[in-house]
Amino acid sequence: MWAAYSIIAALALAYTSPVGADDVSSFAGATSTFLFPPIGETATASDPFFPNANQVGFAGPTPTGDEADTIATAPSVAKVKSVFPLINPGTSDRPAGDFDVLHQFGNLAPWRSVKSLGLPETSARIPGGCTVEQVHLVHRHGARYPTTGAPPSAFATLLHELAQTTGVNVTGPLAFLTTWQYKLGAEILTPFGRSQLFDLGVGFRVKYGDLLKGFTDLPVFRTTSQGRMVDSALHFAAGFFGVQTYQQDYHQLIEIEAAGFNSTLSPYETCTNANNSIAAFGTTQALRWAAVYLAAAQTRLTPFVTGLPLSPSILVAMQQTCAYETVALGYSLFCDLFTEEEWIGYSYLNDLEFWYSFGPGNPATSAQGIGYVQELVSRLTETRITKFDTSVNKTIVSSNVTFPFGQPIYVDATHDTIISAIVTAMNFTSLSANGPLPTDHIPANHSYIVNDIAPFASNLVGQVVSCPVSPAFKSTGYIRWILNDAVLPLIGIKGCPTDPNGLCPLSNFISGMQQRIEEVDFAFDCFANYTIPNPDNIVNGQFPQ
């Protein structure tokens, strides 16, 4: 979705003709590609020289152990901090290690455990005396290459063509551009992205593996048909079940992600206002901020280049190239062109983009997330959906084979913009407490931070728990939500009280979600011909009533 309304596209910065195979150059922007395995070479399971493990035998002792349940039994929850094997770069005013550049990349940052999203003293661990009965996981795919036509490739193409025609001269901190080559692919997962989802699956097994004992049939997990989505789902499953058996341990449902096909995991395909100027509003707002926070960088770097105008949009493309090269290649020379303050500014640029295009500040956001909410209520109540006026796929949810009830574990893979849409549709108001976002400065203590909400491999977990009736617990059944290991307060949901553990009585939560379903006008917000009204009046992802 970012590519469709990219910063560079918005300013018509780009030469759209691709660099041909004969355009070999050692100057900046030349492309370099590599394909493995070699053409015509594949490994087959039936190769007599390389039998599989079952055919070889001699596996040695293989006794198994009991399932883990750390989310309920451990005194604390393990935190995700490592970004191995990525290198955290420095900035132009700080050496490497003094400032965390990697986690200023917005939706292009690797996920890590978030300290707090409104309940700073609360752990994702199940409260004492309670038992986890069911979990609902929605996760994003892992780190990927840029989408087709995104700013980094447009920047590389422009730079290469200018070098071949009018000429480009670079010195000082930009001198590396004389030999820089664009090595990024498009769309698919990077090696680091694959490892993120494998690790996420391993972590989920350690936290919730005990719930596997409640299955009487094989689990059904869902993803969409995009290459990076299927790859992410399979790597998660390999981490969760183990590489030797995962393909026999569950069913992978792949929903078609393309125009004209309903899927709550890619609802923008059936929402007109998710693909036009309504969705581009975040780019408009972000560009205003780019002119502010990159003014000093423009002044500082311009003396070192001739033949290439360092506009704010080009500088943003360079920052985005840093982010993509880091998660794909491990390191990028673009990173330390910018100061700590400019990286903080880039992080906020992403907050603006998401708030006004994919978050609480866009009138078509809740409509895109409400289909998943309908499916969630259907699963929680074990009641089939009978009204089909959103992105819900009738064929899928009407069948107990493809949409089973009673699973102790549900896993759905989706995109960053859809996680943002889901948390908006569910009205997690702690995330939007300080909105709308200004475009001329970063507000103090602002709460809508894309680094925390929808980075690569981000994960939203709903824990359904049972607790004894006692003064501490007024009901037996509860639900709570954890976003990247941070417990979310549910006070924006009707019937959910302020609770130190983030718990809401399950019946109250269900009725609150049913109210949200009634409040969201999918048909109008997605298909009506309107212009965005005063953005200060939109904080719930809906067109103002």
User: Which has the closest alpha carbon to 407: 255, 264, 250?
Assistant: 250
Neighbours of 32 (CB within 10 A): 8
Distance separating alpha carbons of residues 89 and 105, to the nearest angstrom: 12
| H-only helix segments in 383-505 | 394-397, 416-425, 450-453
Neighbours of 98 (CB within 10 A): 12
Distance separating alpha carbons of residues 480 and 497, to the nearest angstrom: 12
Q: Which of the residue ranges 72-81, 206-215, 261-270, 416-425 would you say has the lowest mean pLDDT?
A: 72-81
Q: CA 30 → CA 42, 58, 149, 180, distances in Å?
A: 30, 51, 16, 7
Distance separating alpha carbons of residues 273 and 367, to the nearest angstrom: 10
Q: Which residues contact 486 (CB under 8 A, 6 or more apart)?
A: 113, 114, 115, 116, 117, 119, 124, 452
Whole-number pLDDT of residue 470:
66
pLDDT digits (tens, 9 = 90+) for 51-105: 888 888 898 888 889 999 999 888 888 999 889 999 988 888 877 777 899 999 9
pLDDT digits (tens, 9 = 90+) for 319-351: 999 999 999 999 999 999 999 999 999 999 999
Q: Which residues contact 80 (CB under 8 A, 6 or more apart)?
A: 111, 112, 113, 199, 203, 485
pLDDT digits (tens, 9 = 90+) for 229-245: 999 999 999 999 999 88
Can you name the CATH fold of 87-147+186-279+339-529?
A: Rossmann fold (3.40.50)
Q: At 481, which helix (H) or strand (E)?
A: strand 477-483
174 and 28 in contact (C-beta within 8 Å)?
no
In eight-state DSSP terms, residue 91 is B
**In the chain, where the domains are located:** 87-147+186-279+339-529
Q: At 479, which helix (H) or strand (E)?
A: strand 477-483
Q: Residue 39 pLDDT more than 70?
A: yes
* The pair of three-digit structure tokens given for residue 414, joined into one six-digit string: 């989706």
Q: Residue 22 pLDDT more than 70?
A: no
Q: Residue 494 pLDDT more than 60?
A: yes
Distance separating alpha carbons of residues 253 and 158, to the nearest angstrom: 41
Distance separating alpha carbons of residues 217 and 405, to the nearest angstrom: 11
pLDDT digits (tens, 9 = 90+) for 166-225: 999 999 999 999 999 999 999 999 999 999 999 999 999 999 999 999 999 999 999 999
pLDDT digits (tens, 9 = 90+) for 113-149: 998 898 988 999 999 889 999 999 999 999 999 998 8
388 and 263 in contact (C-beta within 8 Å)?
no
Distance separating alpha carbons of residues 418 and 366, to the nearest angstrom: 10
Whole-number pLDDT of residue 19:
30
Average pLDDT, the chain: 91
* The pair of three-digit structure tokens given for residue 264, joined into one six-digit string: 């709550």
280 and 242 in contact (C-beta within 8 Å)?
no
